[in-house]
C-alpha cells in the first residue's frame, strides 16, 4: 500500500462526517450448540435510526448515494439543496477521503459519508429513514446478477429502509445495467417515473437542473469518450417478494457493451 493511501486512511479517522464501522459492529456470529460459529448475520449499528440526531446539523429527509466513490455527487447535491441531508456510501476509504475532507473543511452541515459494503446497508438505516437513493455509475456486474446494485436482492435491502413513495435513481453509462434495471421494474410492476437511454439528448427530464449539471468523475470521463449516459428513476413500491426478470437478454446486452468494457472498465480508473 502506497504512502499516500496510508496518509488518507489516517486522516479519515479524524473526520467527524465519516463513519467507518468495524466489521464486528455489524456482523453477528453466534455460537452453535457444538461451539462452532453459525453463519454470519447482520446486527444493527448504533447509528441506525439516529443519523439526523448524531451526524447532521438539522433533522431533514435523508438521501443516499450508493457507491459514491470520491463523493463529488453527494457534495454537489448537498450544496444545491440544503433542505436534505446526504450520505455517500462506499467501501474504498482512499476515495471517500476526498469528499469527506472537503465536507470537513467547508463545515457542510448536511453531508456525511459511510464506509461499508453495500451488502451490509440494512444494519445502518431504520424503516422509513431514507427518503431517496441515488446509484451513480456502479460496476454493471455482467456475470453476477445478484451483485448488481439494482438486482431484486439489493432492492429487497433498500425497501427495508426507504420511505413510502421513495425513489431509486440509476445514472449509468452501462446500457447493459440500464436495460437490466428496466426489466426488473417491468417484472415487478414498479412505477417508472423517468427513463432515457440518452440523458443529454433529453434535457427536460425531471425538470433538468442537478440531474444534468451534477456529474461524477466517471461520468465526465465517459462523456469525453463519447458514450451516452442513461437514466432511470422508479418507485420501490411492491407487495410480496421481488423477482428476477425472465425477459432480459443478458447475452445480447453483454455483447453490445463489450467495447466499452474493454476500454474503460479495465480497473485503471481510480
Query: Hey, what CATH class is 44-264 in?
Result: alpha beta
Q: Write down the catalytic residue from 139, 173, 197, 249.
A: 139
139 as an active site residue: the answer is yes
Per-residue pLDDT reduced to its tens digit, 112-138: 999 999 999 999 999 999 999 999 999
Q: What is the mean pLDDT of each successive set of 10 residues along the chain, which is 270 residues long?
A: 72 88 81 51 93 93 95 95 96 90 94 95 97 96 96 97 96 96 97 96 84 88 91 94 95 83 45
Within the chain, residue ranges assigned H as helices are 3-12, 51-54, 72-80, 93-105, 152-158, 175-187, 210-213, 217-224, 250-256, 258-264
Q: Which three cell numbers, joined as nine digits, stand for 185?
A: 421494474
pTM of the model: 0.90
Amino acid at each position: 500500500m502506497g504512502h499516500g493511501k496510508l496518509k488518507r486512511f489516517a486522516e479519515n479517522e479524524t473526520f467527524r462526517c465519516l463513519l467507518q464501522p468495524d466489521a464486528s459492529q455489524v456482523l453477528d456470529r453466534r455460537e452453535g450448540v457444538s461451539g462452532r460459529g453459525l453463519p454470519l448475520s447482520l446486527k444493527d449499528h448504533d447509528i441506525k435510526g439516529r443519523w439526523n440526531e448524531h451526524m447532521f446539523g438539522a433533522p431533514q429527509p435523508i438521501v443516499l448515494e450508493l457507491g459514491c466513490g470520491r463523493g463529488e455527487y453527494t457534495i454537489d447535491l448537498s450544496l444545491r439543496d440544503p433542505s436534505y441531508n446526504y450520505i455517500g456510501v462506499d467501501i474504498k476509504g482512499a476515495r471517500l477521503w476526498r469528499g469527506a475532507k472537503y465536507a470537513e473543511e467547508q463545515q457542510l452541515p448536511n453531508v456525511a459519508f459511510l464506509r461499508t459494503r453495500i451488502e451490509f446497508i440494512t444494519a445502518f438505516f431504520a424503516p422509513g429513514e431514507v427518503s431517496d437513493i441515488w446509484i451513480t455509475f456502479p460496476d454493471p456486474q455482467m456475470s453476477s446478477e445478484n451483485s448488481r446494485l439494482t438486482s431484486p436482492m439489493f432492492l429487497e435491502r433498500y425497501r427495508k429502509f426507504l420511505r413510502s413513495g421513495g425513489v431509486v435513481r440509476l445514472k449509468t453509462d452501462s446500457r447493459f445495467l440500464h436495460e437490466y434495471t428496466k426489466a426488473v421494474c417491468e417484472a415487478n410492476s414498479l412505477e417508472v417515473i423517468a427513463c432515457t437511454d440518452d440523458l443529454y439528448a433529453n434535457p427536460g427530464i425531471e425538470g433538468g437542473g442537478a440531474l444534468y449539471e451534477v456529474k461524477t468523475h466517471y461520468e465526465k470521463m465517459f462523456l469525453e469518450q463519447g458514450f451516452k449516459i442513461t437514466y432511470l428513476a422508479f418507485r420501490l413500491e411492491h407487495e410480496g417478494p421481488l423477482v428476477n426478470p425472465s425477459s432480459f437478454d443478458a447475452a445480447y446486452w453483454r455483447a453490445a457493451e463489450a467495447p466499452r468494457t474493454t476500454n474503460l472498465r479495465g480497473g485503471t480508473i481510480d
